[in-house]
Amino acid sequence: MLTGGNVADCTAGAELLSKMPACDILHGDKGYDSDVIRRQVENAGVMPNIPPKASRKWKNCFSPFLYRIRNAIDRMFCQLKDFRRIATRYDQSATNFLAAVCIAATISYWL
């Protein structure tokens, strides 16, 4: 799902959660640390493992040991951003940008 650069991550969280496959633990970024998203994840029967924002007064349960698994996803995005066209988003339309991401992913992981 592609959102604008000025849109917060948590605004698209509800739609992403509706498309989430079955799992036991959800590893999320700090951008998804909101009470609404946490409740939606818990109502789906999944444990949220999201690091709390620094501005939170009450820190939720968070396991840094389990969160290390998410490092593989971060490295994948860093490899995609090595392509200048992806990092700066030259393409104006979402379909052209998705095509560029698919080509970059093919070059990075298949070849």
Measured between alpha carbons, how far apart are the two ends of the chain, in Å? Answer: 26
Q: What is the pLDDT of residues 41-69, one digit of tens each?
A: 888 888 988 888 888 877 778 888 888 88
Higher pLDDT, 86 or 6: 86
Mean of all residue pLDDT scores within the chain: 83
Residue 101 has pLDDT above 80, yes or no: yes
Name the residue ranges covered by the structural domains of the chain: 1-67, 81-111
Mean pLDDT across 75-82: 86
- Could you tell me how far CA 30 lies from the centroid of its own chain? 10
Question: Using 50, 70 and 90 to split pLDDT, how confident is the model at 111?
Answer: low
**Planar angle of CA 43, 5, 3, nearest 5 degrees:** 45
